[in-house]
Amino acid sequence: MVDKLEQAKTEELILNAARLVFTQRGYNGARMQEIADEAGINKALLHYYFRSKDKLFEIIFTEAINQLLGRINEVIKTKGSLLDKVSVIVDLYIAGLMEKPFIPIFVLHEMSQDPEKVAQRFLNSANMPDVKQFLKEVDAEIKKGHIKEFDPEQLFINVVSLCIFPFVAKPMIKGVLRKNEMEFRLMMQERKREVVKFITAALQP
């Protein structure tokens, strides 16, 4: 029993360290030695629990995606106006990417290697948002005259793209606009409001 408890404790220690290092360094910048140092263990023990950086990152990435998608799915399933849902989804999406900034870059990297595998990973997630439900709600709001006629699928793509792009282009945005990390984060907080204003204005009948 003690061994199992110690094993679980060590695994959680490693995962906490990995979350921190991957968040700060991203997948490519992270090193197993740095994760071991952060966890306060030697590299050999790290490899004993998690054979490779890929294996460790897979766990962290899947966990992050499930958390993000799960929150968004809960919003889609709740009752309420479409624009209220869009507002909450944007807030959750940007907040989630601020918390786990390695997600967009890793997804793009993986898509360039094996796009079908990435798509399947999302589709297999138990927390995959009910996109069809969202599209049906958009269509219903259009028919009621609450929002202007708009391709529901294009709206979905627009919402996701407006949230993701700043994180994909983060180095360029920080460089061109001369923003440090704190200033970038403040700008992303403001972006939550700006994206909602933009989408709301675009949908006004």
pLDDT higher than threshold 50 for residue 1: no
Tell whether 27 and 97 lie within a shared domain: no
Q: According to the model, what pLDDT value does residue 37 have?
A: 94
What is the residue range of 36's domain?
A: 1-51
Can you give the CATH number for the domain in which 138 is found? 1.10.357.10
Average pLDDT over residues 143-155: 94
Last-in-domain residue among 32, 51, 70? 51
State pTM to two decimals: 0.77
DSSP string, the chain: -HHHHHHHHHHHHHHHHHHHHHHHHHHHH--HHHHHHHHTS-HHHHHHHSS-HHHHHHHHHHHHHHHHHHHHHHHHHS-S-HHHHHHHHHHHHHHHHHHSTHHHHHHHHHHHH-HHHHHHHHHT-TT---HHHHHHHHHHHHHHTSS----HHHHHHHHHHHHHHHHHTHHHHHHHTT--HHHHHHHHHHHHHHHHHHHHHHH--
Higher-confidence position of 187 and 116: 187
Higher-pLDDT residue of 27, 88: 88
Counted domains in the chain: 2
Provide the CATH number for the domain around residue 47.
Answer: 1.10.10.60
- Residue 51 scores a pLDDT above 50: yes
Q: Please indicate, yes or no, whether residues 157 and 198 belong to a single structural domain of this protein.
A: yes
The pLDDT value recorded for residue 2 is 45
- Whether residues 8 and 34 fall in one domain: yes
15 & 102 share domain: no
Residues 172 and 107 in one domain: yes
End of a domain among 14, 30, 51? 51
Whether residue 69 is predicted with pLDDT greater than 90 in this model: the reply is no
